[in-house]
Structure 1
Amino acid sequence: MTLIHIVLFKFRPEVSEEHKDTFIRELKTLKSLPCVKNGRLLVGSPSVTNPIERSKGFQVALVSYHEDKAALAEYQASDEHHRVTSTYMFPYKEDLVRFDFEVDAEDEYMCHFPLLA
């Protein structure tokens, strides 16, 4: 089974681009956690949604893959995750949306793709 974790981040207006860039770099380090399935963690910014208003002001997106709910819980509880979110996100956030879902068995094959180093 695969569980997909999606988070959208919105910073307060006064937060600098430099800070946002640092946050993105730090988020990307979380792909090395063993609870992230095969290192599949993507971070994207800025939104290229057209019209941009449909992005509702969210500035950074994270999508990560986990083996199951226990692996996602391990990810959430990790010291590394706590360090990144408590240092670079929560003191600066305006809003955050999280959505997690289990991939249906018939779609699981789409979660198995070769990784390029």
Structure 2
Amino acid sequence: LFKFRAEVTDEHKQKFVTELKKLKSLPCVKEQRLVVGGASITDPIERSKGFEFALLSFHEDRAALEEYQKSDEHHSTYMFPYKEDLMRYDFEVDEADEHLLGFLPLAASKVA
């Protein structure tokens, strides 16, 4: 979860999101499964605690997660100097539940 300082412009935030989405091309991201979400639609909005964007990424194992965390691309010049707060929560998914986290194919790919 990402929270910017109040003076950060919307244009800067959009550039951050654009750059963040590029992380899916890192080899340590499993099957390019990385999603950036925002802005919060939580109701009431106060429950979002000011966080504006979220990132969910999938990795084959802890070693791949560590590689992702250490990558130069991960350390964004668009976030860290401008952040008010950042929350990270890493977790493992039971192998039996992995299928529940699959991404649906794009509708366009079904068109012949």
The answer to whether structure 1 residue 89 and structure 2 residue 82 are counterparts is no
Report Cα offsets for 1:72-103 as digits up to 9, x if no partner: 01111112112xx2x11110000010000000
Residue 95 of structure 1 aligns to a residue whose secondary structure is: strand
Question: How many angstroms apart in 2 are the aligned matches of 1:113 and 1:28?
Answer: 16
The answer to whether structure 1 residue 67 and structure 2 residue 60 are counterparts is yes
Q: CA RMSD in A?
A: 1.4
Cα distance change of structure 1 residues 90 and 113 upon mapping to structure 2, 3 Å threshold: closer
Question: How many angstroms apart in 2 are the aligned matches of 1:97 and 1:72?
Answer: 16
Number of aligned residue pairs: give it.
Answer: 107
The answer to whether structure 1 residue 55 and structure 2 residue 48 are counterparts is yes
Question: How many angstroms apart in 1 are the aligned matches of 2:30 and 2:13?
Answer: 25
Structure with the bigger RCO (C-alpha within 8 Å, sep 6+) is 1
The one-letter code sitting in structure 2 at the alignment partner of 1:91 is P
The one-letter code sitting in structure 1 at the alignment partner of 2:6 is P
> TM-score normalised to the size of structure 1?
0.85
Match of 2:23 in 1: 30
Structure number with bigger Rg: 2
The structural deviation recorded for 1:107 is 1.1
Report Cα offsets for 1:7-65 as digits up to 9, x if no partner: x0000000000000000000000000010000000001110111101101000110000
Percent identity over the alignment is 68
Match of 1:3 in 2: none
Gaps of 5+ in 2: none
Match of 1:111 in 2: 101
> TM-score normalised to the size of structure 2?
0.89
Runs of 4+ in 1 over 2 A off after TM superposition: 111-117
The one-letter code sitting in structure 2 at the alignment partner of 1:110 is L
The answer to whether structure 1 residue 98 and structure 2 residue 98 are counterparts is no
Question: How many angstroms apart in 2 are the aligned matches of 1:113 and 1:46?
Answer: 21
**Which structure dedicates a bigger proportion of its chain to strand?**
1
Match of 1:4 in 2: none
